[in-house]
Amino acid sequence: MENKSGQGILKNRGVVLRRSDTPEGNRSVYVLLENEGPVWLLAPGAARGKVRFGGSTDPLVWGTFHVYRGPNRWYLRDVDVRKDFWSLRSSSIRIRQAVHWVGSILGNTLPGHPCNDLLPVFFWSLSLLENPSAREDLASWRFYWRWLRIWGMAPELERCRSCGSLPGRAFFSGEGINCEKCGGQGIPLSEQERLALLEAAISGHRDFIERSGQSGIGSRLVEKCTLVLERELAERT
């Protein structure tokens, strides 16, 4: 229960972003918590095995975190694990991708600043990554596009940003696309490639998995465009 000074017990959903153990055997867990944003939670003695958290303080573990908010620090009491995404570890490409996303979250969010909309985007992106039928390059593109969308910065992919036409060939930049007539700088995309990016960004979870394998765009190009999105994100923060 909460009192006036904000102390007390808190039970919020969240995901472990990183974990750090001290030589004295204390553990700190950096958790992206619903309604609170990223916060450090202390688990004294946890690294010595005094408090048995098992794997529940590993990065990428999702669950409900039981937190005691002390006057100066917050303490982790317990975790009800919902999903640990352990299966990602069986693919070096996929776990590297997940770790890369965690790095972006660490770099582009501020401690104590809630970002509730990011939680489902991250969760469902990890779920896609877990699915062997889903292309991880397109899943990453989708993750960053959707993150930018919740922050109101996702580049428009349907119409030319200068003249509003539905382009054939187009140039993609962080601000959107330009048709050939309007020109400008950016990554050249065929109509098929642009539509593949659009579909990967906005399609539902199941459609994404079903169509991922037949997507009309190569991985190198997807990665190039994803880097543009990552840069947009970094510029905002």
Could you list the residues that contact Zn ion (CB under 5 A)?
160, 162-163, 179, 182
Amino acid in position 193? E
Helix (H) or strand (E) holding 82: strand 74-83
Shortest Cβ 182–Zn ion spacing (Å) = 3
Helix (H, G, I), strand (E, B) or coil at 67: strand
Phi, psi of 228 (to 5 degrees): -60, -45
Q: Decide whether 87 or 162 has the Cβ nearer to Zn ion.
A: 162
Q: Decide whether 121 or 179 has the Cβ nearer to Zn ion.
A: 179
Q: Decide whether 63 or 174 has the Cβ nearer to Zn ion.
A: 174
Shortest Cβ 167–Zn ion spacing (Å) = 6
3-state per-residue secondary structure call for 147-196: HHHHCCCCCCCCCECCCCCCCCCEEEECCEEEECCCCCCCEEECHHHHHH
Please give the Cα distance from 107 to 237 (Å, whole number). Answer: 8
Q: Decide whether 129 or 177 has the Cβ nearer to Zn ion.
A: 177
Shortest Cβ 216–Zn ion spacing (Å) = 22
Shortest Cβ 169–Zn ion spacing (Å) = 11
Helix (H, G, I), strand (E, B) or coil at 114: coil
Shortest Cβ 152–Zn ion spacing (Å) = 23
Q: Decide whether 32 or 179 has the Cβ nearer to Zn ion.
A: 179
Q: Decide whether 182 or 187 has the Cβ nearer to Zn ion.
A: 182
Shortest Cβ 163–Zn ion spacing (Å) = 3
Q: In terms of residues, how long is the chain? A: 237
Q: Decide whether 16 or 170 has the Cβ nearer to Zn ion.
A: 170
Shortest Cβ 194–Zn ion spacing (Å) = 13
Q: 75-103 in b/e burial notation, b at 16+ Cβ within 10 A?
A: ebeebebeebbeebeeeeebbebbeebbe
Q: What are the angstrom distances between the C-alpha of 212 and each of 116, 125, 215? A: 27, 13, 5
